[in-house]
Amino acid sequence: MIKFFRKIRQKMLTENKFSKYLLYAIGEIVLVVIGILIALSINNWNNNNIRAKEEGSLLKDMIIDLNQNIVVTNNVLNIHNNLLIKNISLRKALLTKTSDKDSLSNLIRSLNGSATPTFSASTYKTLSQTGLNIIQSDTLRKLILRYYEVHLPYVNEKSNLDPKNQFQFLLKPYFNKYFKIELDSNDSIKRTTNNSVEMFNDNKFLNELHITILNRKRLIQHLEKGKEKAQGRIKEIDDYLARGNK
């Protein structure tokens, strides 16, 4: 093809058709430029297509992580909600000063009961290493960044200050004072009530129990809020992918 154009140029020069040669040369340059632009456009399209596929794959993996965080949160919430019911029942028993020993032994075990969530952030860590700019939407990128850098660490922090830790500082002295652990014939732990009359009249114990209940309620609220944030990110990512950013 190059030889063909070269022969045409040479023929024009030998025939002294300089003006036609000049027009031809300009046209040839234009064709070359157009060819280069087309090649660059194809290359950019391929690169954008590869990036979009990688972005879509990472976002879909992130949805899996977020759904896993919701499952974990629900499990922990179930545990704390059940423990909260028992904590409140114990408080009622102290306020009314009426409860049998077996019930008290069962309720007292709820004081140091706990559960701490372990959240997944593996896809976000991958994104952080490869570059968050792969997410083309500035809005979605900021929402994801805020969830993993602000909301999730906050819930983690509050979860690590759960009522089990409060029990160690607030209620354990009363636990040792009013309850004792024995072993039955099968060497299984059996908790029994000790000094129950004094316990029912101990306002300090009741006050500390109030604080423990309040802390557990706050933890439940934090977990619920964290779950809402995860659900929100899932919806936003789904909407983004549905618009064709796959």
- The residue among 194 and 103 whose pLDDT is bigger is 103
Using pLDDT thresholds of 50, 70 and 90, give the confidence band for residue 127.
Answer: confident
Amino acid at 26: I
Is the pTM value of this prediction over 0.85? no
Least confident of 77-91, 116-130, 136-150, 162-176: 162-176
- The helix/strand/coil state of 179 is strand
Using pLDDT thresholds of 50, 70 and 90, give the confidence band for residue 234.
Answer: very high
Residue 134 has pLDDT above 90, yes or no: no
- The residue among 173 and 76 whose pLDDT is bigger is 76
Q: Which of 232, 44, 34, 22 is nearest to 140 (CA)?
A: 232
Q: Is 206 exposed, middle or buried (0-12, 13-18, 19+ CB in 10 A)?
A: middle
Enumerate the H helices of 97-137 as residue ranges: 101-108, 122-130
Report the half-sphere exposure of 4 (CA within 13 A, side-chain side). Answer: 2
The structure tokens listed for 125 are: 């860590």
Using pLDDT thresholds of 50, 70 and 90, give the confidence band for residue 65.
Answer: very high
